[in-house]
A and B are shown apart, each in its own frame.
Chain A
Amino acid sequence: MKSNTLILHTAALFIMPLQLMFSVFLLFRGHDEPGGGFIGGLVAASAFVLYAFAFGSEPTRRILRVAPRDLLAAGLLFAIASTVPAFLAGQPMLTAHWWEVPLPGGNYLKLSTPLIFDIGVYAAVLGTIMTFVINLMESDE
């Protein structure tokens, strides 16, 4: 299934990168402002779904580069990986750890296990929806 309208093709090419950037933005700002991994993952998924509607499932697989179900696994792995520091420190599972990396200009980059966890959620959500959509689209063919 793919559409042949020029408008959708052109629009998808413009909108998709914006959506993807916005999804990453949502992911990173999520800790302080509305957003987060779940929402970010949904936005990213809708970007790819838009692309899939415009160009079909095979090109979408190509720009995704990894199989959707690998994305799922990666998400779960990230989420599990975020429990490792607490495990090594002998703390209860999922205890948060924070690291502040100094940046030039006197600012700090805050890195943390919740961020890793959130990236995992992002990937898992994206993977789930892409698994649904791509496989449903392909089952036609």
Chain B
Amino acid sequence: MLLAVLSGFLLAIVAPALHRVTGKYIGWTLAILPASLTAYFASLIPDVQANGSLVMEYAWMPGLGINLNFLVDGLSLVFALLISGIGTFILIYAGSYLAGHRFLARFFVIMLSFMASMLGLVLSDNLVSLFVFWELTSITSYMLIGFNHEDMEARKCALQGLFVTAGGGLALMAGLVLLAIMGGSYSLSEILSSDLALHEHAFYTGAVICILAGCFTKSAQVPFHFWLPNAMAAPTPVSAFLHSATMVKAGVYLMARLNPSLGEGALWSQALMLFGAATMFTGAYLAFSSTGIKKVLAYSTIMALGTLTMLIGVGTELALTAFICFLVAHSLYKGALFMIAGALDHETGTKDIARMGGLKKTMPVTAAIACLAALSLAGLPPLFGFIAKELLLESLLDAPLWSVGLTVAAVAAAVLIVGVAGLVAIKPFFGKVADTPKAPHEAPFGMLVGPAVLSVIALIFGLAPFLPEAALLQSAIGSVFGSPVETYLALWHGVNVPLVLSIGSLILGLSLVSGWHRLQPALYAINTYAARFGPEAGYFRFMEGITIVAAWQTRLLQNGVLGLYLLLLVAVTFGLTGYTLLTHHGIHLTLDLTDSHFYEWGIALLLVAAATFASSTHSRLGSVASMGVLGFGVALTFILFSAPDLGITQLLVETLTVILLVLVLFRLPEFVNLSSPFERFRDLAVAIFAGVVMTLLILAALDVQYFESISSYYVENSGTLGHGRNIVNVILVDFRALDTLGEIFVLSLAALGVLSMIKLRAEDQYKS
């Protein structure tokens, strides 16, 4: 299983080399991996049928309780099969669609990484690894949307998708942590099998809001739906795979996954129903009113995602049955339709539906497949989409809450979606032959095999729904419901209310298609007007706001006056420390000076004198030298109190500091007094304050001991465990070696910082 998930990453590494060897057959070659993964996941079906769910354990960071455990049950297996199955055809398709593209190898690297991340996401049992894979899908999606990176629009859209999904990802992380605290475990299988009443927990509301924020952004729910149509800037194989069949369903997956644990709260179900229904209707409306074929499909994907969310919210056994069926049906027909859309774009040179027509003569196979997939989209028999839609309407009719409202929204969406199906299947292929930028001819085999197979599967599932049901769907429904369920899927339910509603929506939908040309300008005007107030406008205003705030606070904090930086740092640090000291400890002055020697007073006097001189002199060299005196005085103190290692180090560091300062000194302009007397007194006050707080802190540290000192442990064990008599060194290189390791990394980083600062400045000077 570990290999199954990670093999995508491994193949991604060697994909460029393979590309050089296999040339134009790269798509077919790489597709072997998802194909065999599909077979592997299918081979797990009997096991899942017998045991319900399997957990496969692999340690990753056992010290932190993070592991790479995989949870295989009906739900995750449905998703895994969809990902690897559709992935197979997508890779074949991409090899043909992007044939000869100069970044083809790079495309496959990201695509395979995405596939592996997506598999990891749906199979993870551990919340932390789930989150890591979740973010990986956001990042790979970003790279794929911006694949045509020379196009500024594509880059902008990619960034928008990343900001929205990664922003939601941050909320999700908080939500998952809260969930783990509530459930007492980071393991999904443990949280799901525990009988804690999570909806009564104090964190429930917070956790649900955070998790839903993550899921809604990822799955493009209103009001975050705007990023998905923009993501269509990606090459079509990406749109087909990430932005319809798999990645955007990650949010839906997580909601379905957590439904048994979180679904009992009213907040969960109501939020899901409300946002889901709103998304469903908005998506359907926008799909019908768009003209670009990919935009149409993207909005209809949003409609499907809304429907899925809403069905989880309804949460009855019937609704969840509809959920799983709709999920499978949608992945099949939408994957196919996107690939068809890509083929049309590839062959005709335009994405605009209004400019296509009568293509059935030149592209008969494409037309046939498109019609089959569109039938499923419209929810017509005998395709699987019909079963899903009937179940959807039936479950909404007897939903426990808001039944009428949800049904009305669903029927309205269904009418519009029939219209959309007509747009993608009837408009380009039938009617008058339209002039297209390229002379169209049939798409190559590699671009047709995927949509053909997916549509035929949708047909088979429609004619024989008991096949997938018995194999997997039933146990998947059980995973979402929380306990095993008995379902009975059939194509024909007799004449009932859902069927009547379906027929009604079909008629209305078809009349919408015929009136599309007349409606289009009006819809366009409405949408353009609404876009000024829509969520996307809000997104842009928000991003502008961030820039403005960033600029403002940079001017405030990073204003380039070093003295002010120092002042702020010192004031904040010592202010907070002083506050803590005052509130937690109080001030006790127990200064016993009786056992002090006269030479200690001498050193103290020297230190004070050096500090006073350093801060009042007008000569830079004098200031540096007296700082050196200060440092040597401190070194002397160390030696007096028998800390030779510290003493030597201080001495050496002090020497080198003075040397470095001298090196810099010659570069500075003449000393000028720039500060006003007020500023100087303010600085003096802050400095004195810092000194006083530090002194009190040291006195307090001598005074109290909250914990038993660890030094006795070091003294006892440095010889026996560390084989050394110099305790300081044993601590540095053995007991606390990790700290030292961190320190030398910081040191190196500082050196590289200085290096780049000096070198970059030198280059700037060359330019000017």
Contacts and interface: CB of A to CB of B under 8 A. Distances in A.
A130 to B, nearest CB: 9
A53 B751 CA distance: 20
B656 A36 contact: no
Closest 7 CB pairs of A and B: A31-B724, A42-B652, A114-B733, A131-B751, A36-B729, A124-B744, A128-B751
Contacts of A110: 723
Interface in A113-141: 114-115, 117-118, 120-121, 124-125, 127-129, 131-133, 135-137, 139-140
B515 interface: no
B36 interface: no
Interface in B745-763: 745, 747-748, 750-752, 754-755, 758-759, 761-762
B580 interface: no
Contacts of A114: 722, 724, 730, 733-734, 737
A117 B740 contact: yes
A132 B660 CA distance: 8
Given A42-B656, A112-B723, A125-B744, A135 B729 contact: no
Contact of B738 (A32, A93, A135): A93
A93 B660 CA distance: 36
Contact of B726 (A32, A43, A94, A127): A32
B660 to A, nearest CB: 6
B649 A132 contact: no
Interface in A69-99: 69, 72-73, 75-76, 79-80, 82, 92-94, 96, 98
Interface in A16-73: 30-39, 42-43, 45-46, 49, 53, 68-69, 72-73
A30 B748 contact: no
Nearest to B719: A32
29 contacts: A30-B726, A34-B728, A36-B732, A37-B732, A38-B649, A38-B732, A39-B645, A42-B653, A43-B652, A46-B656, A53-B659, A72-B751, A72-B752, A73-B748, A75-B744, A79-B741, A98-B723, A114-B722, A115-B733, A117-B740, A117-B741, A121-B732, A124-B748, A128-B750, A131-B752, A131-B755, A135-B758, A136-B758, A139-B762
A35 B652 contact: no
A69 B750 CA distance: 11
Contacts of B740: 79, 117, 121
B386 to A, nearest CB: 58
B360 to A, nearest CB: 65
B159 to A, nearest CB: 34
A96 to B, nearest CB: 5
B612 interface: no
Contacts of A135: 754-755, 758-759
Contacts of B748: 72-73, 75-76, 124, 127-128
B589 interface: no
Contact of A127 (B729, B734, B751): B751
Contacts of A34: 644-645, 648, 726, 728
Contacts of A93: 738
Contact of A94 (B663, B738, B762): B738
Contacts of B744: 75-76, 79, 120-121, 124-125
Interface in B40-98: 63
Interface in B182-203: none
Q: Most B CB atoms within 10 A — which of A34, A69, A80, A129?
A: A34
A82 B738 CA distance: 11
Contacts of A98: 723
Given A94-B741, A118-B733, A129-B656, 20 more contacts: A31-B722, A31-B729, A36-B732, A39-B649, A45-B656, A46-B656, A68-B751, A69-B752, A69-B755, A76-B748, A79-B741, A94-B734, A121-B744, A125-B747, A127-B748, A132-B751, A132-B754, A133-B663, A136-B664, A139-B761
Given A31-B723, A35-B729, A36-B728, A46 B655 contact: yes
Contacts of A137: 663
A36 B728 CA distance: 9
A118 B666 CA distance: 35
Given A76-B745, A117-B740, A131-B755, A96 B722 contact: yes
A106 to B, nearest CB: 19
B438 interface: no
Contact of B725 (A33, A76, A128, A139): A33
A136 B649 contact: no
B726 A35 contact: yes
A79 B649 CA distance: 20
A10 B138 CA distance: 64
A76 B645 CA distance: 23
B660 A133 contact: yes
Given A30-B726, A127-B748, A46 B660 contact: no
A76 B723 CA distance: 24
Majority secondary structure of chain B interface residues (helix, strand, loop or mixed): helix
Interface of A: 1, 30-39, 42-43, 45-46, 49, 53, 68-69, 72-73, 75-76, 79-80, 82, 92-94, 96, 98, 110, 112, 114-115, 117-118, 120-121, 124-125, 127-129, 131-133, 135-137, 139-140
A140 B63 CA distance: 51
B751 A69 contact: yes
A18 B258 CA distance: 70
Contact of A117 (B649, B663, B667, B737): B737
Q: Most A CB atoms within 10 A — which of B644, B645, B664, B750?
A: B645
A112 B723 CA distance: 10
Contact of A30 (B663, B729, B762): B729
A136 B655 contact: no
B754 A131 contact: yes
Contacts of A131: 751-752, 754-755
A36 B648 CA distance: 11
Contacts of A80: 741
Contacts of B761: 139
A69 B744 CA distance: 13
B724 to A, nearest CB: 4
Contacts of B656: 42, 45-46, 49, 129
Contacts of A1: 663
Contacts of B663: 1, 133, 136-137
A92 B61 CA distance: 11
B542 to A, nearest CB: 41
Given A37-B733, A39-B648, A121-B744, A133 B659 contact: yes
A101 B55 CA distance: 49
A36 B652 contact: no
Given A124-B748, A125-B744, A31 B730 contact: yes
Contacts of B63: 92
Nearest to A128: B751
A121 B751 contact: no
A32 B751 contact: no
Given A136-B663, A139-B761, A36 B755 contact: no
Nearest to A30: B729
Contacts of A117: 733, 737, 740-741
Interface string B638-673: 000000110011001101100110011011000000
A75 B723 CA distance: 23
A4 B754 CA distance: 28
Nearest to A80: B741
A54 to B, nearest CB: 13
Contacts of A45: 656
Contacts of B667: 139-140
A21 to B, nearest CB: 16
Given A36-B732, A120-B744, A131-B751, A136 B652 contact: no
Q: Most B CB atoms within 10 A — which of A53, A72, A82?
A: A72
Contacts of A127: 748, 751
B729 A124 contact: no
A37 B729 CA distance: 9
B428 to A, nearest CB: 59
Nearest to A118: B733
